[in-house]
């Protein structure tokens, strides 16, 4: 959320515009009844939400929900990992784009040190939230020199680094195709230092392509949504904090579930609205990415998460 856009004068949503924990759990329960068994809490930064462990506990109690994850910048993870694990959190993904404090600060626009993120990762591991996954978005000319260093740092730890091609999410990150380091190049850089071999996906629709170190020191993943899009296998839906359902990370519009929830609609009516939105989805942005799609109005990444 760039400071030049989201400055002191930016007006954020009023509290009553946001879904309550009870409303989120209700929608999640309806999704669970439709076959969803994995939930991920994203952001913005989800650990800023007060009493988040209460939401996690509510989700963990739902029949059919087998896996609850969180994607976080790690700044509050050291103090919250134990409570979240106790509430029923299954695993955690931490964003860490560089091990160099100066480059890390330039990317995340805050002064939080790398050491604090590493402390959060270790706290999550100590709480049993393993394996911890580390997401690193690679931007050519910004942190592409950190690829091998990140791989080296987490080799043999049981944690998994996933290198993500720089994507044109939202409208504020100044994306250019020239800034993308292709996944194949990322894998090549690591392979030259630590030989790799590909391994099978764990499930259909998994977005990361997996590689293991030939010496048995663990694995890495790459998410190649720019150079090798995976729209055809996408099974993800996103519910925004204010109750809009999006069927693509690059969506331009969503389906308003908050109004439905607050109008007295039954679970069956909410289920029908979700099913209708899913049947009508035709999202293929990453496959269609071209001069015609670049610049389209899109929902900001900080609004619907990753």
> Which residues are paired to 72 by β-bridges?
94
Report pLDDT for 193. 97
**Class at the top of the CATH hierarchy for domain 15-304:** alpha beta
The series of mean pLDDT values per 10 residues for the chain, 306 residues long, is: 76 90 98 97 91 98 98 96 98 96 85 94 97 95 94 98 82 65 96 97 83 98 83 86 88 90 97 95 66 58 65
The pLDDT of residue 161 is 98
Indicate the SS3 state at residue 267: helix
| Spatial separation of the C-alpha atoms in residues 41 and 306, rounded to whole Å | 9
Place of tokens 């009844």: 33
In the chain, where are the structural domains located?
Answer: 15-304
Q: What distance in Å separates the CA atoms of residue 86 and residue 117, rounded to the nearest whole number? A: 21
- pTM (predicted TM-score): 0.89
Predicted local distance difference test score (pLDDT) of residue 23: 98
Please give the pLDDT value at position 287: 58
Burial class (CB in 10 A: 0-12, 13-18, 19+), 111: exposed
Residue 263's CB is within 10 A of a number of other CB atoms, namely 8
**Rounded to 10 degrees, what is the CA torsion of 242, 207, 119, 76?**
0
Distance from C-alpha of 69 to C-alpha of 122, rounded to nearest angstrom:
16
Sheet-wide strand order for 238-239: 238-239, 244-246, 255-256
């Amino acid at each position: 959320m760039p400071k030049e856009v989201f400055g002191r004068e930016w007006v954020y949503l009023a509290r009553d515009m946001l879904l309550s924990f009870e409303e989120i759990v209700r929608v999640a329960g309806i999704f669970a009844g439709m076959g969803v068994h994995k939930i991920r809490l994203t952001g913005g930064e989800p650990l800023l939400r007060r009493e988040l462990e209460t939401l996690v506990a509510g989700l963990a109690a739902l029949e059919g929900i087998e896996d609850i994850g969180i994607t976080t910048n790690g700044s509050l993870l050291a103090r919250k990992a134990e409570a979240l694990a106790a509430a029923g959190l299954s695993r955690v993904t931490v964003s860490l784009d560089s091990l160099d404090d100066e480059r890390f600060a330039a990317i995340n626009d805050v002064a939080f040190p790398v050491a604090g993120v590493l402390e959060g990762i270790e706290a999550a591991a100590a709480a049993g939230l393993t394996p911890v996954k580390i997401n690193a978005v690679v931007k050519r000319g910004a942190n592409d020199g950190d690829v091998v260093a990140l791989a080296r740092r987490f080799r043999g730890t049981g944690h998994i680094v996933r290198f993500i091609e720089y994507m044109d999410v939202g409208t504020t990150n100044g994306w250019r195709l020239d800034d993308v380091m292709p996944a194949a190049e990322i894998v090549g850089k690591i392979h030259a230092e630590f030989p790799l071999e590909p391994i099978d996906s764990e499930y259909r629709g998994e977005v990361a392509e997996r590689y293991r170190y030939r010496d048995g020191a663990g694995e890495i993943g790459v998410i190649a949504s720019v150079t090798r899009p995976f729209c055809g296998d996408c099974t993800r839906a996103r519910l925004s904090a204010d109750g809009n359902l999006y069927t693509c990370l690059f969506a331009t519009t969503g389906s308003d579930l908050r109004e439905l929830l607050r109008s007295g609609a039954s679970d069956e009516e909410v289920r029908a609205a979700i099913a209708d939105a899913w049947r009508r989805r035709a999202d293929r942005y990453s496959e269609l990415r071209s001069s015609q799609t670049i610049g389209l109005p899109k929902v900001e990444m900080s609004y619907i998460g990753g």
